[in-house]
Amino acid sequence: MIRYSHTRLQALLSARFVEAGVSNDVAETTARVLVEGDLLGHHTHGVKLANGYLKDLSTGHAGGNPSRLTIERSSPVAALYDGHYLLGPYLVNHALEACAGVAREFGVGMVSLRRSHHIACLAAYLLPLVERGLIPIIMSSDPAVASVAPYGGTRPVYTPNPIAIGIPGREQPMLIDVSMSTVTNGTVNKAHASGVRLAHSVILDGYGAPSDDPSAFFGDPPGSILPLGGQAFGHKGFALGLMVETLTAALSGFGRKDAPQGWGAAVMVMVIDPVCFGGREAFLDETDYLARRCWESGEVEAGQHVRLPGQAGLTRRDEFLREGIPLPADVVTELEKALGGPAMAAEVAAL
């Protein structure tokens, strides 16, 4: 299997964005975040997205110039950004770095971001902050899309609404990136495209009957995804989905009520510095202790150790940095479209 060099991928994608009129720093950050998604193994939210970003840049829906970002309100520790659909990875990274500086001084920094373009893989933002001993938190929703139904309802109202958080640890940092629905839109789309059933009955068809058939989601009336917790405990996932929805869209002042069109995101970004609370060493002592307790908690399946969130991704990342990234076929196809043909894709394969 061909393995792709992360540095070549990044350089070529960045150059392609610049060619499409994106300014250098926005192009570089976006390329870096996309490749980072693949490095962690999240191939649905990595370089595969570049082609869609380029399409939205060509229509003018997505922006590539940092001047699109306006800071609508600010205090010494908090701000409201309006992204005017500037590429999301630049906006989120900008917000995280602003929050990091504030957190160092005050303990916590927070940005509410409205009208971002798509923000790719949430886990891909965490490591640079975690490596500095900070705790980054990102929540996201897309007010232009409805795919998840309220618990007890049959029609989709909101999105999977993920929460991501990075947790420093000496032995094993944790990178958490989980949606508040049973599965994501991506999982349903992928199963539908491949013509396979889902592993569990986490779809409701348009009449509210549970199904593992992804085509039920695309029916008429349209189906929906069950909240995390499913049929038994979906009230919890529904509550958490509403939490993310309100801390992102409602807090930013721009959401479903504004009936936005096109790819976008409402985002909450926060950074916490343990130094301003119980201290860095005590924090790391506790997370290291917790990690060991989890690893030593036995095995439901013999030979299957407990894995901490992000542990598999970070192991994969180490390997991919050394050996290159084995991109799946569907990703390569999209990448070729983004980079302008098979010749370009072959070029990035060089390690």
Stretch (H or E) spanning 80 = strand 78-82
DSSP states of 309-344:
TTHHHHHHHHHHHHH-B---HHHHHHHHHHHTSHHH
By beta-carbon proximity to a copy of itself, the closer residue of 47 and 267 is 267
- In the complex with a copy of itself, the residue whose CB is nearer, 125 or 151, is 151
- With binding defined as CB under 8 A, does residue 257 bind a copy of itself? yes
- The single residue among 272, 325, 339, 348 that binds a copy of itself, judged by CB under 8 A, is 272
Task: Say if residues 22 and 88 touch (Cβ distance below 8 Å).
Answer: no
Only one of the segments 1-9, 21-29, 58-66, 250-258 lies at the binding site for a copy of itself (rule: CB under 8 A); that segment is 250-258
Of 105, 171, 318, 323, the one binding a copy of itself by CB under 8 A: 105
Report the alpha-carbon distance of residue 213 to residue 198 in Å, rounded: 6
Give me the sheet containing 224-225, strands edge to edge.
210-211, 203-204, 224-225
CB of 303 to a copy of itself, least distance (A): 11
Chain residues 294-333 in contact with a copy of itself, contact rule CB under 8 A: 294, 296-301, 304-309
Residue with tokens 């939205």: 56
The residue (of 11 and 157) whose beta carbon lies closer to a copy of itself is: 157
Q: Which of 52, 253, 326, 328 binds a copy of itself (CB under 8 A)?
A: 253
272: region left, alpha or beta (phi > 0 left; psi from -120 to 50 alpha): beta
Closest CB 295 distance from a copy of itself, rounded Å: 8
- The single residue among 21, 101, 262, 279 that binds a copy of itself, judged by CB under 8 A, is 279
Instruction: Verify binding: residue 239, a copy of itself, rule CB under 8 A.
Output: yes
Residue 125 binding a copy of itself, by CB under 8 A: no
Tokens representing 232? 């038994």
Please report, as residue ranges, which positions from 166 to 225 form the binding site for a copy of itself (by CB under 8 A): 167, 174, 176, 178-179, 182, 199-200, 204, 208
Beta bridge partners of 136: 271
Q: In angstroms, what is the minimal distance from the CB of 7 to a copy of itself?
A: 30
* Euclidean distance between CA atoms 90 and 66, whole angstroms: 8
Residue of the chain from 277, 318, 321, 351 that contacts a copy of itself (CB under 8 A): 277
Dihedral-angle region of residue 37 (phi above 0 means left; psi in -120 to 50 means alpha; beta otherwise):
alpha
